[in-house]
Amino acid sequence: MPPALQEIVDEFADTPREMRLAVLLDFSNGLPPLPPRFAEAGLLERVHECQTPFFVAAEVEDGRVRLFFDAPPEAPTTRGYAGVLAAGLDGARVEEVLETPSDFYTGMGLAELISPLRLRGMGAILAHIKRQLVARGGAGRG
């Protein structure tokens, strides 16, 4: 797992249970805005596993992963997932992202706060990111 993501997982795990959602809300509020060029249709892929319209694009620049998300403010939890992945994976090497375990979030201690079934949305977003990276040529040609 990329060190930045591991740090976030640890940060959640070290936060008292009653404060963990506040941390997730910080990530939700801190999600970087979408660059204007994404206004063009087709650059973002919809994540159908999420209950609200949610879009992600994974690009590769010099072997480094660049992530872009579009998530409405009415869905702060999904935005929070995006904020965690943006902070934890943006700028990581392609291989590191592809090797990130799909259940990386189980160590964050969120399952007591968010229904475990809904929590899997985080893994679904990561799966979309990996699929896009593989489709773009994966580690070999990044």
Partner 1 sequence: MSVENDPDPKLAEYAHPERLVTTAWLAERLDDPRIVIAESDEDVLLYDTGHIPGAVKIDWHQDLNDPVARDYVDPEGFAALMSGKGITPDTTIVFYGDNNNWWAAYALWVCSLFGHRDVRLLDGGRAKWIAEGRPVTTDVPRRTATEYPVVPRDDATIRAFKEDVLGHIGRGPLVDVRSPGEFNGELTHMPDYPQEGALRAGHIPTARNVPWRRAANDDGTFRSAAELRAIYVDEQGLTPGDEVVSYCRIGERSSHTWFVLTHLLGFPNVRNYDGSWVEWGNSVRVPIEKPGHPVRPAVGSAAS
- The binding site for partner 1 (CB under 8 A) comprises 21-22, 24-25, 28, 48-51, 73-78, 80, 112-115, 117-118, 120-121, 124
Strands of 55-61's sheet, edge to edge?
Answer: 45-46, 55-61, 64-70
Give 49 or 95: the residue with its C-beta nearer to partner 1: 49
Give 118 or 136: the residue with its C-beta nearer to partner 1: 118
Contact 54, 71 (CB under 8 A): yes
Shortest reach from residue 30's CB to partner 1, in Å = 13
Shortest reach from residue 29's CB to partner 1, in Å = 8
Give 9 or 114: the residue with its C-beta nearer to partner 1: 114
Shortest reach from residue 50's CB to partner 1, in Å = 7
CA angle 107, 112, 115 (to 5 degrees): 105
